[in-house]
């Protein structure tokens, strides 16, 4: 469950005007950084947390200095010139390459939509394909930092200092985005992320400016996410709704529409009766040494199988040593190859805590949950094993036994296990999630438009 900070000044002592303003700003930043103050985030393995927020205070200060020079000052000297007019349009706000993949279909099916991202946000191979919201004025709001930081120290304790760099980065997003909303007056903003700091800031800014908001789920969700706070939420299936109900009150209208980004690939389900090609996907939680040990074991035990290694697109580790170690090992670049395209080339998936398990099962791959090392994240983080989506192997011999069974015979209808996660699976609407999502958004916009700012 989300970490809940204690309410400040609970003794009843009246707040001065300056204190009240600081508490309000701090409460807003606490909301924007909600996930960063959870026990879950603090328990991330050191190698995962280091690139996000370094353990060394000196490295955090260097990170703040770099952000100040490259982003805050750098943005001041780079004027935003968008190829499209953003005024009065429906914004599709993206914070990553995966977000873009999840929302791009709306660009093709809904009129007057534009893809939008923050000024310097990295969107992978789509960097040049999105319009940008200027952050040149973000620097102007750092006068609030000292009082906001003191207020967060009272509510978050040591975590305010430990994640000072993340607090620093988040300052000013809300104010700049409110200004952008007043300038462009979008008809609505559609999100595919509900927990990153810039996405949270834009959501709060929309609420303050009266701009309608919608949400399209882009990956399996967690009970550590913020409560749903959108006017319309298009979720993939019952699993997502059940988890969001555990996060807090569910606001607005909710529709279960399936997985739009999977539509084009469901007809390409794997029909192989046995496993010959094996994908191994990792993310930043997974330990490099454990990944290496696993690959050493598997390539020795299964010389007749083809293995492909695919790190998460946000993983910055250098895995080139694996190519020298195992010349037969193949690689997939997640920054260049769509995850569904990647999965259609394989019969089985080995991975730990990643939503790729769900995508693989939808395509009828045999998928097994196997942890690469130990860390503070709960086993079976997404509940895939608990709900019978995938099997689990705890040791290398268990993993070997599972693979040998799949070599002999892969079950024919593994995809049916995903019905709890994908509401359209096995129904007449299977493969039509994009149409369902677009129709739901159109109906919602038709009702919301009279109150939207145009």
Q: Are 90 and 446 in contact (CB under 8 A)?
A: no
| Token pair belonging to 43 | 């328990």
The CATH number given to whatever domain includes residue 314 is: 3.40.50.2000
184 in any annotated domain: yes
| Token pair belonging to 180 | 């952008």
Total domain count for the chain? 2
d(CA 127, CA 304): 40
Task: Count the neighbouring beta carbons within 10 Å of the beta carbon of residue 14.
Answer: 7
173 in any annotated domain: yes
Domain that holds residue 195: 17-259
250 and 319 housed in the same domain: no
Rounded to whole angstroms, what are the CA distances from 421 to 348, 355, 361, 387? 19, 11, 11, 10
Q: Which of 224, 244, 259 is the last residue of a domain?
A: 259
Q: Are 363 and 269 in contact (CB under 8 A)?
A: yes
Q: Which of 244, 259, 274 is the last residue of a domain?
A: 259
245 and 290 housed in the same domain: no
328 and 196 housed in the same domain: no
Give the pLDDT score at 19.
Answer: 61
Q: Are 436 and 424 in contact (CB under 8 A)?
A: yes
> pTM for the whole thing?
0.90
295 and 400 housed in the same domain: yes
1 in any annotated domain: no
289 and 238 housed in the same domain: no
| Token pair belonging to 380 | 């079976």
Give the pLDDT score at 9.
Answer: 40
226 in any annotated domain: yes
108 and 251 housed in the same domain: yes
148 and 269 housed in the same domain: no
222 and 285 housed in the same domain: no
pLDDT in tens, 66-89: 999 989 999 998 889 999 999 999
Q: Which ranges of 33-143 would DSSP assign to H, the alpha helix? A: 39-42, 46-49, 57-67, 74-76, 97-109
Q: Which of 238, 259, 280 is the last residue of a domain?
A: 259
445 in any annotated domain: no
- 22-29: long-range pairs with CB below 8 Å, 24+: 22/144, 22/147, 22/148, 22/150, 22/151, 23/151, 25/144, 25/147, 25/148, 25/151, 26/147, 26/148, 26/151, 26/152, 26/155, 28/174, 28/204, 29/148, 29/152, 29/167, 29/170, 29/171
Exposure string over 345-380, b if 16+ CB within 10 A, otherwise e: ebbbbbbbbbbbbbbbbbbbbbbbbbbbbebebeeb
190 and 289 housed in the same domain: no
26 and 140 housed in the same domain: yes
pLDDT in tens, 352-366: 999 999 999 999 999
> In 3-state terms, what secondary structure has residue 98?
helix
Q: The sheet that has 253-256: what strands, in order across it?
A: 131-133, 113-118, 90-93, 188-191, 213-216, 232-235, 253-256
Q: Which helix (H) or strand (E) holds 445?
A: helix 433-448
d(CA 448, CA 442): 10
Cα dihedral 75/79/80/81 (nearest 10): -160
Give the pLDDT score at 376.
Answer: 58
2 in any annotated domain: no
The CATH number given to whatever domain includes residue 39 is: 3.40.50
Q: Which residues of the chain have pLDDT under 70?
A: 1-21, 375-377, 449-454
Give the pLDDT score at 392.
Answer: 97
Give the pLDDT score at 43.
Answer: 86
227 and 314 housed in the same domain: no
d(CA 108, CA 444): 18
434 in any annotated domain: no
CA atoms within 13 A on the CB side of 248: 13
446 in any annotated domain: no
How does DSSP assign 383-399, residue by residue?
A: -TTTTTSSEE--SHHHH
Q: Are 143 and 132 in contact (CB under 8 A)?
A: no
d(CA 392, CA 388): 10
286 and 363 housed in the same domain: yes
């Amino acid at each position: 469950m989300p970490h809940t900070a204690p309410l400040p000044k609970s003794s009843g002592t009246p707040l001065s005007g300056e204190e009240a303003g600081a508490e309000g700003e701090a409460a807003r930043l606490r909301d924007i950084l909600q996930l960063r103050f959870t026990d879950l985030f603090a328990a991330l393995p050191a190698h995962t947390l280091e690139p996000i927020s370094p353990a060394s205070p000196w490295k955090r200060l260097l990170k703040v200095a770099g952000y100040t020079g490259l982003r805050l000052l750098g943005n001041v000297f780079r004027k935003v010139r968008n190829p499209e007019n953003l005024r009065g349009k429906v914004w599709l706000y993206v914070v990553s390459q995966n977000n873009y993949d999840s929302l791009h279909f709306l660009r093709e099916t809904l009129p007057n939509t534009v893809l939008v991202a923050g000024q310097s946000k990295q969107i992978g191979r789509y960097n040049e394909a999105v319009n940008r919201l200027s952050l040149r004025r973000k620097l102007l709001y750092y006068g609030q930092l000292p009082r906001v930081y003191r207020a967060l120290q009272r509510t978050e304790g040591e975590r305010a200092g430990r994640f000072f760099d993340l607090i620093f980065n988040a300052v000013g997003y809300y104010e700049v985005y409110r200004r952008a909303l007043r300038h462009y007056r979008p008809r609505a903003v559609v999100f595919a992320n509900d927990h990153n700091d810039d996405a949270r800031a834009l959501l709060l800014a929309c609420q303050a400016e009266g701009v309608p908001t919608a949400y399209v789920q882009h990956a399996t969700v967690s009970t550590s996410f913020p409560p749903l706070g959108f006017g319309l939420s298009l979720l993939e299936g019952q699993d997502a709704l059940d988890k969001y109900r555990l996060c807090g009150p569910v606001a607005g209208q909710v529709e279960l529409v399936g997985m739009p980004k999977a539509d084009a690939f469901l007809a390409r389900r794997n029909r192989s009766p046995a496993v010959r090609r094996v994908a191994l996907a990792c993310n930043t939680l997974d330990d490099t040494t454990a990944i290496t040990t696993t690959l050493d074991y598997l390539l020795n035990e299964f010389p007749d199988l083809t293995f492909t290694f695919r790190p998460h697109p946000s993983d910055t580790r250098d895995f080139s040593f694996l190519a020298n170690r195992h010349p037969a090992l193949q690689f997939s670049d997640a920054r260049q190859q769509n995850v569904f395209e990647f999965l259609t080339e394989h019969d089985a998936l080995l991975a730990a805590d990643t939503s790729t398990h769900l995508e693989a099962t939808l395509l009828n791959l045999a998928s097994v949950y196997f942890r690469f090392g130990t860390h503070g994240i709960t086993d079976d983080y997404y509940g895939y094993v608990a709900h019978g989506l995938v099997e689990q192997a705890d040791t290398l011999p268990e993993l070997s036994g599972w693979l040998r069974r799949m070599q002999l015979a892969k079950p024919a209808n593994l995809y049916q296990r995903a019905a709890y996660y994908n509401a359209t699976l096995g129904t007449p609407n299977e493969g039509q999630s994009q149409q369902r999502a677009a129709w739901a958004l159109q109906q919602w916009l038709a009702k919301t438009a009279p109150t939207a700012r145009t």
